[in-house]
Amino acid sequence: MIPVGTFKARATEAALGTTSKGGEQVAVNFQILEGEAQGQFVTWWGYFTEKTTERTLESLEHCGWQGDDLNDLAGIDRNEVYLVIEHEQDQQGELRARVRWVNAAGGIAMQNRMAPADAASFAQRMRGTVLARRQAKGQAPAAQQPRTNAQPPRRQPPLKAEPPDDSEIPF
């Protein structure tokens, strides 16, 4: 069984269906790409209810589906995603792995990310706690470095193929 955790995966196939109560759903089969569960398969079910449709469509798009016709799920295997796996009991009482979330690869997957102003306010409130913790551990405060929004300079390839002259390095 796939352990609880977050795993990089790729969809391998998808199909539309209905639940036992007649609700519409989509099933997407994923293969785990890394870690201790590498090579294992797990299925995610997305539902099309008033509360879940938006997140189900978002999850399909994370996988690579770009269409507008759910009957054509081409591209579902285009992207790598991160699956959040939990364990739950099935209807027979057996423990099984369940895909809780399908998240886009790259970036931080967070349901309620703080707005920049809120993050700055929170950081300011926590600064005293952070400094007190460092002082208790005998650490000096971190040196303040100016923050900029400028992009770091891109590394340019060397213009000559000669090795650098390191004769002036003082060691």
Q: How many CB atoms lie within 10 A of CB 142?
A: 9
Q: What average pLDDT does this structure show over 143-164?
A: 46
Distance in Å from the first CA to the final CA of the chain: 56
Angle at 79 between CA 75 and CA 80, to 5 degrees: 145
Could you tell me the pLDDT band of residue 79, with boundaries at 50, 70 and 90?
very high
Greater confidence, 121 or 30? Answer: 30
CATH architecture for segment(s) 5-104:
Beta Barrel (2.40)
Structure-token pair, residue 48 = 């099309």
- 19-29 pLDDT per residue, tens: 999 999 999 99
Mean of all residue pLDDT scores within the chain: 83
**Can you give the residue ranges of every domain in the chain?**
5-104
pTM of whole model > 0.85? no
